[in-house]
Each structure stands twice: as C-alpha cells, then as structure tokens.
Amino acid sequence: MNKKMTITSIQKAKGVQPLVMITAYDALFAKLLESSSDMILVGDSLNMTFGGKPDTLSATLEQMIYHTKAVCEGAKNSFIICDMPFGTYTSKDDALKNSIKVFQETKADSVKIEGGADKSEIVKHLTSNGIAVCGHIGLLPQAFRSEGGYKIKGKTKEQKQQLLTDAKTIEEAGAFCMVIEGVKPDVAREVALSVDIPVIGIGAGKDVDGQVLVFSDMLGLFEEFTPKFVKKYLDGASLIKDALQNYSDEVKSKEFPKEEHTY
C-alpha cells in the first residue's frame, strides 16, 4: 500500500519527483486510481462529467461534499482535495464557513480555490484558520461565462506578469501547492520556477512540478470532445460499449447466465 502523502511530502517533492494528481468523484474510481496518484482531486468538473452539465458553474457545495465523502471512503490512503464550487468563496467569511463545512463533513485534506492575487486575502484567511489550500491559476473554468469562454493564459507580457504575481501572492498567502491550467508552457515553466511550492499543470506543458488530468478524459470515457492537452491512456468508451453489447447479445441469445452463474 502506498504511503499517504502529506503537505510536507508534497512540498518536498518539488524539484525531486513530478507529482501525479487525478480527479475522482466516487468511491469506486477513487479506489482504482489510489495506487497511481499522489493526490486525488474531487474537481467541480464533476458537474460536467458526472452531472452532464455544460460547465462547472452550477455545482453546489452539497454536491461537492457528497462526492468528496464518497472519494474519501474509496481512497482512505490518499491525499484528497475538494474543489470549492463557484460562489462559495466570494468573501473571506463565506470561504471560511464553507471550507469548515467541507472539513467537518468530509475527510478531505485540503480545499482548492480558483483565482490569483484577487483571491490572496481569502487564501490567507483560510490557511490562517487551519484550512489547507491548493490554489488554481491561469485558465479558470469558473470564469468561463464572465470571460466569454475558456481562455488560454500567458500569451502576452502582461498576462505572464499577472501569472507570476498570482503565483507569488498565492504562495505568500499560505497555499501549499497550486494548479496552473491552460497556460503557455514557457510561461508555466517560469511560474513553477518562481515559487517554492509545487505547481501542478493541466494544459501547461511538462516543465512544471506535476500533472493533473480528469480521469474520464484520460481513460477515454468522455467521447464528445477531447481537449488538446489530454492524452487518452485507454479507449474506455469503446471497451465499455463492446462489453455491454456482448452482455446484451448474450442475454438475448440466452447464452448468459450459464450454470456457473446460477445458484
């Protein structure tokens, strides 16, 4: 059994060993991916993957708590991060109240909040009140509607400077690590080098301190669309559909169940 990562071991990995983060939303998958990941993220991407919605904006705190509880049951030996959904950390008080609820009702080790320098006061308030925070800078899925789409960051000098400022202020506010999403690889590299905490990339190239992928993307379960940054490690959808068709054919032909499947 793998040793559960801690904030100290996660931070010590920087510059030594790339960190592996994968999302999970239920106990079954959490258990399957536990041995191959250093951290499990209960991402609000579950609103799309699990809930079939077009974006993450309508995910609720109650949903995140429900799924985080399930993941904690399935992966008892993993460092688990619960994504704070849209609208649950707009003020320091709300952020703390809602994060305390996550910590009290689940066994999550940390919360994740989207935003850079603009969220540093909130991150500081959480970390100084006993809540471990993973930051999230660059492309912010929760800003999808306000920014008019998913916008890759780091394309201009100003954006690069903003990302460096975001990373520094989030680090100074006490975050133990951060996700950097949808950022030009050379800029993501500079950001990772500019801070002492691990910077975990998604669509940000290889020169960061680790990678995170949504499990259903990397297992090829989501067929509608594959973002450019995703590598499919399995053609999951085809494998599952073939197996289901096989079952359906065998039920119809009465080949299943056989004697060994019968009491």
Footprint on this chain of ligand KIV (rule: CB under 6 A): 23, 41, 43-45, 83, 179, 181, 202, 212, 214
Which of 119, 49, 128, 36 has the alpha carbon at shortest distance from 84?
Answer: 119
Could you tell me whether strands 39-42 and 110-114 are parallel, antiparallel, or unpaired per DSSP bridges?
Answer: unpaired
Task: Compute the least distance from the CB of residue 4 to ligand KIV, in Å.
Answer: 21
Task: Compute the least distance from the CB of residue 141 to ligand KIV, in Å.
Answer: 6
Catalytic residue, candidates 34, 114, 171, 181: 181
Those residues whose C-beta lies under 8 Å from the C-beta of residue 113, and which sit 6 or more positions away, are 84, 89, 95, 119, 122, 123, 126, 133, 134, 135, 136
- Residue number, 86 or 173, with CB nearest to ligand KIV: 86
Residue 89, SS3? coil
Task: Compute the least distance from the CB of residue 152 to ligand KIV, in Å.
Answer: 14
Q: Under a CB-based contact definition with an 8 Å cutoff, are residues 97 and 68 in contact?
A: no
- Residue number, 177 or 179, with CB nearest to ligand KIV: 179
Task: Compute the least distance from the CB of residue 20 to ligand KIV, in Å.
Answer: 13
181 labelled catalytic: yes
- Residue number, 166 or 181, with CB nearest to ligand KIV: 181
Closest residue to ligand KIV using C-beta atoms: 43
Would you give the DSSP letter of residue 94?
H
Task: Compute the least distance from the CB of residue 59 to ligand KIV, in Å.
Answer: 9
- Residue number, 23 or 78, with CB nearest to ligand KIV: 23
- Residue number, 90 or 246, with CB nearest to ligand KIV: 90
E runs forming strands in the chain: 19-23, 39-42, 79-83, 110-114, 133-138, 177-181, 199-202, 210-213
Instruction: Give the separation between CA 66 and CA 46, rounded to whole angstroms.
Output: 11
Active site residues: 181
